[in-house]
Structure 1
Amino acid sequence: MTTSYPWQTGTATGVGSYPGDDPAEALRVVLGELPELPHLPELPARGPGADLTGRTAGLLLDMPVHLQPSGWRFSDRPGRDTLRSHDHLARDLDALEEQAGGHDGPFKIQVCGPWTLAATIELRHGDRALKDPGAVRDLAASLAEGVAAHVADVRRRLPAARILLQLDEPSLPAVLAGTVPTASGFSRLRAVEAPVAEDTLRTVIETVSADDAAYPIVHCCARNVPYALLRGAGAKAISVDLSVVPRRDDDAMGETIDAGTGLLLGAVPATDAVLPSLQTTAHPVRELWRRLGFPPARLAEQVVITPSCGLAGASPRHVRAALRRCRETARMIYEAAA
C-alpha cells in the first residue's frame, strides 16, 4: 500500500519532556540535534503548570484547575495555578516563534490526552474525573476545543511548518483494565469499555485535526498499548517504548504496520546510561520488522526513532547524546535499506 508520511525517510524525534527550566536553550538543543523533525520541549522542572497534566489543563476551555496536595482539581474560577500554566506555555511559544519561526518542515507538539487527564484530575469533591462519565465527556469536549486553538496558535507562529500533534496517553491501558486507583488509593475505578474510550479519543482527534490542521499521533509508553483502538480513534501514528513491547503484541503491531499507521519507536535509553553501540540500538527495531515479515524499505519510511520516553530525568549531556543516537540510528536504518 502507498501511504504518505509527514516526515522524511530515516527520521528521528524526541518524545516531549526535557531537563532544565530554559525553553530557549531546550529548543536550541532540539533544533540542532533533530533538524528533520524537531518538537516543542516540555520542562516539568519549572514546577506546577509545566507538568504533563497541569500544562494541558491550562488549555481547557471553561474548566479551570488548581493544585491540591493530592494533585490537580477542577475549580470554580481560574486562579494562580491556571495562570501559571498559561505563563509557562506563553514563554515556550514565544521562544518557539523566535527560534523556529522559519521552520518549513514537520514540527511536533505534545499535549496530554483525555483519558490520562481524566485519570489524574480530580472533581471538586475529590473523586477522579474518570469516575463520572458526564465529567469525562465535558473534559474531552473542552480539551478538543482548547487544543484546536493551541494548534492554530502554533500554526500562526510557524506558518511554513507541518504540525504534528502528539496526544500523551500513558494511563489509557490502566483505564481500560480498571486499575486506576481512586483518589483515596484504597480501591480501583471501574474499567472503561473500549468502544467508549475509542469514541472519546476520536472526539478529540477529529476536532484537532479538522481541515488537516495537525497530523495526529498518540503516545503510550506503558505496556498493553491498545493499537486497534488508537487506529480506530483516528491516530495516524502511534508512539511506544520498544523496550516494553512484548512478543504477544506482534499480531497487533503487524496489523498496525499493515494498515500504514506510522510508528514512533522508543529505542534509546531516556535516562542516564552508557549508550549501547549503534548496531545494538538498531537491532530491536530491525528484528521487529524482520520478525513480522515486512519489506525492509518500508521500515525507514514508516518508522521514526525516538528515546524510550521523555528525557526530563536525564542530564543535559545524556539528552544530547540520546538525541544524536536516535538520529544516527534512523540514518543507519535508512542507508541499510537503500
Structure 2
Amino acid sequence: MTQPSGVGSWPGTDPLTAARQVRDLLSDNGIPYVVELPDRGPGADMIGRTAAALVDLEVDLQPSGWRLAPTADRNVRRGRAFLRDDLEVLSETYDGWQGPLKVALTGPWTLAGSLRLPRGERVVTDAGACRDLVQSLGEAVRVLAAQVQDAVPGAQVIVQLDEPGLPAVLDGSLRSASGLNQLRPVDQPVVRDALAAIRDAHDGRVVLHCCAPGVPTALLRSMDVEVSLDTALLTPAAWEGVAELVESGRTLWAGAVPTDAAGSHPGPFVDALARAWHRVGLPDAALADLMVTPACGLATRRDPVRIQRLAVDAASALAERADA
C-alpha cells in the first residue's frame, strides 16, 4: 500500500516535541523517522551529525568546514551528545512500537565531497582517505542501526543515506579548495563500490536519498537500494530512468510535495505525479508500492506539520488510484 514518510530534518531545537509530531503524523500508516534538528548548531547539521558518528576517524570544525583531524573537537563531542539525546527520546517516544523506523546518515560521497583533508582539499581527492572514510562510515551505520534497534526493540530499522552531492561527484562539478578549479569526476565503479560497501553494512532496508538534479538512476538500479528523490527536478529523460527503477522492483520514495507547498490539499501534487507516472507508461497499480514524502528536509520551514500532513494525504490519494 502507498505509504507516507519524510526525509528527516525538522525545525527547532526540542527533540521530544519534534519526535512526537512525526510519530503522531506517521504512526498510523506511514514510516516514521528519527528527527534531525540542525537548528541546534554544529554537530546537528547533516555533515557534523554523521562526522560525530564515524568510528575510529576523528574530525573537527574549521572556518572552511568540517575536516579530518587527529582528535575530535567540542563540536563533534556536542554532536555525539545530540545523538545520545535523540536515542533516549526515541526510546520514550516509540515505546512499544512495532514496525519500520528510519534513521539517516550522510552517504559516503556527499561526506567525501564535504569533509576536508588536514591540508584543506576535499577528501574526495584522496583515494586512500576515501577508503578510510567508507570503512569508518560502514561501521557507523552498523553501530547506529544497532543503537536504534536497542532503543526500539520492535523497530524494523531502515537506513537512509543522504547523498545530495552524489551527482556533483560523478560529473566533476565540485570545486577545489581554492575555488579556481573543478575536481575530476570519480569513476562510476569506484562510486558504486563505496555505496555497495555502506549498503552491505546494514542487513535491512537501505534508502539512498538525493534531492539534487541528475540522480544516477542507472547506477542505483544495479544496487540493492531504494531511491528517494525530488520528483519536481526530474526531466522527461530522468523519468524514464525512474520508470526503469520501478520496473526493476526498486521502491521509489517520491518527494512529490514541495517543501514550500501552499494550502492544505494535496491534489496538485498528486495530479502532477500521476501525469508523469503515466507519461512513462507506469500503471496505476504500481503506485501501491510507492512511498510519498516531502521533496527534502523541513528544517527551514515554519510549518513542517502541514507539509508532512500533505505527504500523508497525498499517499492516501495515490493509494486510492492504485486500488481503482
What corresponds to 1:264 in structure 2? 253
Any conservation in 1 of the 2:12–2:37 contact (CA below 8 Å)? yes
* Pairing 1:311-326 to 2, within 5 Å after superposition: 311-315=298-302, 318-326=303-311
Structure 1 residue 276, shift from structure 2 partner: 6.9
Q: Which residue of 1 aligns with 2:237?
A: 248
Superposed, 1:184-203 pairs within 5 Å as: 184-203=178-197
Write the distance in 2 (CA, Å) between the matches of 1:77 and 1:274. Answer: 46
Matched, 1:135 2:129: yes
Partner of 1:71: 65
Q: Which amino acid aligns with 1:138?
A: D
Secondary structure class of the residue paired with 2:96 = coil
Tell me the TM-score normalized by structure 2. 0.96
Residue 201 of structure 2 aligns to a residue in which SS? helix
TM-score under structure 1 normalisation? 0.92
Counterparts of 1:97-176 in structure 2 under 5 Å? 97-176=91-170
**CA distance in 2 between partners of 1:203 and 1:270 (Å):** 31
Give the deviation of 1:37 after TM superposition: 0.8
Q: Distance in 1 between matches of 2:304 and 2:180?
A: 38
CA contact (8 A) 1:43 1:312 kept: yes
- Among 268, 271, 295, which residue is 1:308 paired with? 295
For 1:3, the equivalent position in structure 2 comes to: none
State how far apart, in whole Å, the 2-side matches of 1:307 and 1:122 are. Answer: 30
Secondary structure of the 1:58 match is helix
Match of residue 329 from structure 1: 314
Tell me the distance in 2 between the aligned counterparts of 1:277 and 1:31.
Answer: 21
Q: 1:227 aligns with which of 212, 217, 232?
A: 217
The answer as to whether partners of 1:206 and 1:234 remain within 8 angstroms in 2 is: no
Deviation by residue 1:15-60 (Cα, 9 ceiling, x = unmatched): 1111000010100110011112110110000000000000001111
Q: 2: distance between equivalents of 1:134 and 1:57?
A: 18
CA distance in 1, matches of 2:143, 2:50: 12
Question: What is the CA RMSD across the aligned residues, in angstroms?
Answer: 1.2
Work out the percentage of aligned pairs sharing the same amino acid: 40
- Greater shift after overlay, 289-298 or 99-108? 289-298
Provide the C-alpha distance between the structure 2 equivalents of 1:206 and 1:102, rounded to a whole number of angstroms: 28
How has the CA–CA distance of structure 1 residues 87 and 288 changed in structure 2, closer, same or farther, with 3 Å as cutoff? same
Which of 7, 12, 15 does residue 15 from structure 1 map onto?
7
Cα distance in 2, alignment partners of residues 79 and 289 from structure 1: 48
Query: Are positions 1:53 and 2:47 aligned together?
Result: yes
Instruction: Report how many residues are paired.
Output: 321
Letter of the 1:20 partner, please give it.
Answer: G
Report deviation, 1:161. Answer: 1.3
Structure 2 match to 1:292: 280
Question: Are 2:170 and 2:188, in contact at CA under 8 Å, matched by a contact in 1?
Answer: yes
Q: Which runs of 5+ in 1 are unaligned?
A: 1-8
